């Protein structure tokens, strides 16, 4: 990703487990199982600019080692994958001096190493060195070579790169703020280590040196709108250009049986039949609309993307299906009042707009289009699941040998999940897509439906009518113009 003129690359060194959730945290919500292993991602950050190459933290280090001996450290291969040789690193910034943050110290021959003075005074005493062999082996030799620089307070350490105080996890724990050309991001190190702390900064972590100070730091993180993951800059009108050929290549990877399962569920929950006119809102390339049409259900698909609609129309024509596809804006739907018996909105196609009032307008339009006993089905991502499973980076291979790299950040205050996708095609060329979704919780959505004149009637966590829990990926709500069934 780029922050102004600076290239910012989160690096995953390894994922390790060394304790259970119950041992690591106190105050976790009841949905977390204390006996489950807690998996910790070991991360670093590479920042490249015109004047400096900076590495934030150095991960686990090479084997053999006492901590996480079975884990395979990927930091050096990750740097190589991004075209960075160890000699290119000019500055290493340590957020703190725990064992999983200094492992490759000494591997960067041109680098100076920056440590907060409070951490140095806490960790580098004779008593601490006796207890912590990683400091004797990794950090002390750098001190003897005159390559350690101590810093007190906050300061700019390179052009556009500033260290900021985030104490509590350790006495001198620091974050790194990146500012360039009006854009910014903050790397928060271990100031916040579990997604549950996004919701409740008061959840204590057993490895925090000063739990009370750590809690205040996490509260300050939320107050300052610091992100989980380096913040991504996304055009507020991303949806106007996102759903083009690259997105269609990705979206068409979904197996057809998944669309059939989702439509089976919609047919049952909404009571659809050959006499029920349905609007597929944000229909994309029509996979759900076409499945409805195959069952003889009259359907209209609406989307903003003309390339997606062209594919849908071509498929309907080739199968001789009675499906209509219309281009439009979901905030101002080009249909008459009460024209539909049902509306479906599937595959996280809600929460696109920067202004939440626009999302409210969408639900108002849905209510306007529904007949007196019309029904609405909304399928989106389940916020508690996202918090539990948040990953800053991931990648997957597509069927045509293309590779999709995903970078994510979550805005703690705005409640938005922002992502940048990099599609690497088989010929080596690349395409980049970015989106920003408002992730509404179930209570928020139920209240919004009510304000729009829709009554919430059921909640599910999957397309087999399973219960919605913090472990289910999906949040599926059914609503009606009039309450026709009790809430489940």
For the purposes of burial, counting CB atoms within 10 Å of the CB of 288, is it exposed (0-12), middle (13-18) or buried (19 or more)? Answer: buried
Q: Which of 385, 26, 201, 74 is nearest to 188 (CA)?
A: 201
pLDDT given for residue 406 in this prediction:
87
What is the DSSP track for 8-61?
Answer: EEEEEEEEEEEEEHHHHEES--TTS-TTSEEEEEEEEEEEE-SS-EEEE---S-
Give yes or no for a contact between 418 and 436, defined as CB atoms under 8 angstroms apart: yes
Residues 6+ apart with CB under 8 A from 263: 288, 291, 292, 295
Structure tokens at 448: 């919004």
pLDDT given for residue 223 in this prediction:
53
Gap between the Cα atoms of 473 and 389, Å rounded: 9
Sign of the alpha-carbon torsion through 437, 441, 447, 449: positive
Give yes or no for a contact between 65 and 7, defined as CB atoms under 8 angstroms apart: no
Whether this prediction's pTM lies above 0.75 is answered by no
Residues 6+ apart with CB under 8 A from 42: 12, 13, 14, 15, 16, 59, 60, 68, 71, 73, 100
Gap between the Cα atoms of 76 and 81, Å rounded: 9
| Gyration radius (Cα) of the chain, Å | 25
Task: Report the chain's terminal Cα–Cα distance, integer Å.
Answer: 43
- Compute the residue count for the chain: 488
Residues in a beta bridge with 185: 178
Gap between the Cα atoms of 472 and 123, Å rounded: 42
- Residue stretches of the chain with pLDDT short of 70: 199, 222-232, 482-488
pLDDT given for residue 431 in this prediction:
86
Gap between the Cα atoms of 375 and 272, Å rounded: 10
CB atoms within 10 A of CB 345: 23
* Strand-strand pairing, 393-397 and 403-411: antiparallel
Gap between the Cα atoms of 65 and 71, Å rounded: 10
**Looking at residue 323, what DSSP letter applies?**
E
Give yes or no for a contact between 449 and 375, defined as CB atoms under 8 angstroms apart: no
In CATH, what number does 239-384+438-480 get? 3.40.50.150
Gap between the Cα atoms of 96 and 169, Å rounded: 9
Q: Where are the domains of the chain?
A: 2-228, 239-384+438-480
CB atoms within 10 A of CB 144: 9
For the purposes of burial, counting CB atoms within 10 Å of the CB of 182, is it exposed (0-12), middle (13-18) or buried (19 or more)? Answer: exposed
Give yes or no for a contact between 115 and 97, defined as CB atoms under 8 angstroms apart: yes
In CATH, what number does 2-228 get? 3.60.15.10
Gap between the Cα atoms of 258 and 249, Å rounded: 17
SS3 408: strand
Helix (H) or strand (E) holding 245: helix 245-251
**Left (φ > 0), alpha (ψ -120 to 50) or beta: where does 319 sit?**
alpha
pLDDT given for residue 438 in this prediction:
95
- Does 2-228 match 239-384+438-480 in CATH topology? no
- 48 cis-preceded (ω within 30 degrees of 0): no
For the purposes of burial, counting CB atoms within 10 Å of the CB of 265, is it exposed (0-12), middle (13-18) or buried (19 or more)? Answer: buried
What is the DSSP track for 147-159?
Answer: -EEEE-S-EEEET
Give yes or no for a contact between 123 and 132, defined as CB atoms under 8 angstroms apart: yes
Residues 6+ apart with CB under 8 A from 24: 38, 194, 205, 206, 207
Q: Which of 449, 450, 477 is nearest to 465 (CA)?
A: 477
Tens-digit pLDDT profile for residues 128-140: 999 999 999 999 9
Q: Which of 138, 166, 117, 6 is nearest to 67 (CA)?
A: 138
Backbone phi, psi, residue 163, to 5°: -90, 140
């Amino acid at each position: 990703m780029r922050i102004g003129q600076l290239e910012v690359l989160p690096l995953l060194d390894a994922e390790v487990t060394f304790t259970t959730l119950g041992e690591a945290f106190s105050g976790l919500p009841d949905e977390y199982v204390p006996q489950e292993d807690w998996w910790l991602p070991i991360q670093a950050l590479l920042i490249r600019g015109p004047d400096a190459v900076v590495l934030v933290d150095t991960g686990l280090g090479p084997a053999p080692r006492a901590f996480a001996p079975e884990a395979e450290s990927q930091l050096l291969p990750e740097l190589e994958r991004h075209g960075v040789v160890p000699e290119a690193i000019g500055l290493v910034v340590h957020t703190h001096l725990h064992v999983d943050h200094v492992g490759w110290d000494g591997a960067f021959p041109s680098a100076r190493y920056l440590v907060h003075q409070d951490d140095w005074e806490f960790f580098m005493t004779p008593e601490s060195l006796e207890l912590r062999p990683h400091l004797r082996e990794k950090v002390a030799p750098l001190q003897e070579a005159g390559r350690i620089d101590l810093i007190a307070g906050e300061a700019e350490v390179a052009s556009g790169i500033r260290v900021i105080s985030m104490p509590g996890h350790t006495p001198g724990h620091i974050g790194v703020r990146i500012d360039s050309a009006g854009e910014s991001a903050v790397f928060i190190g271990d100031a916040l280590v579990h997604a549950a702390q996004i919701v409740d900064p008061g959840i204590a972590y057993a490895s925090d040196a000063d739990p009370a100070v750590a809690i205040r730091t996490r509260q300050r993180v939320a107050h300052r709108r610091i992100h989980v993951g380096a913040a991504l800059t996304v055009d507020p009108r991303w949806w106007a250009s996102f759903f083009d050929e690259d997105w269609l290549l990705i979206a068409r990877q979904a197996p057809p049986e998944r669309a059939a399962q989702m439509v089976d569920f919609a047919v049952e929950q909404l009571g659809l039949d050959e006499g029920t006119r349905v609007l597929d809102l944000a229909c994309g390339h029509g996979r759900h609309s076409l499945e409805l049409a195959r069952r003889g259900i009259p359907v209209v698909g609406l989307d903003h993307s003309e390339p997606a609609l062209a594919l849908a129309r071509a498929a309907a024509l080739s199968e001789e299906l009675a499906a209509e596809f219309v281009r439009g804006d979901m905030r101002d739907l080009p249909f008459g009042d009460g024209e539909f018996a049902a509306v479906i909105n599937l595959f996280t196609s809600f929460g696109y707009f920067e202004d939440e009032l626009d999302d409210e307008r969408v639900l108002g339009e849905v209510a306007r289009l529904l007949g007196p006993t019309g029904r609405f089905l909304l399928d989106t991502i389940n916020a508690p699941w996202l918090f539990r499973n948040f990953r800053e980076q991931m990648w997957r291979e597509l069927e045509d040998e293309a590779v999709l790299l995903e970078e994510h950040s979550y805005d703690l205050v705005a409640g938005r999940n922002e992502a940048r996708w990099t599609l690497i095609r088989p010929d080596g060329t690349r395409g980049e897509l970015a989106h920003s979704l408002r992730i509404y919780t179930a209570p928020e959505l139920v209240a919004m439906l009510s304000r729009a004149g829709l009554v919430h009637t059921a909640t599910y966590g999957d397309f087999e009518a399973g219960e919605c829990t913090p472990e289910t990926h999906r949040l599926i709500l059914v609503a009606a113009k009039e309450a026709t069934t009790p809430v489940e």
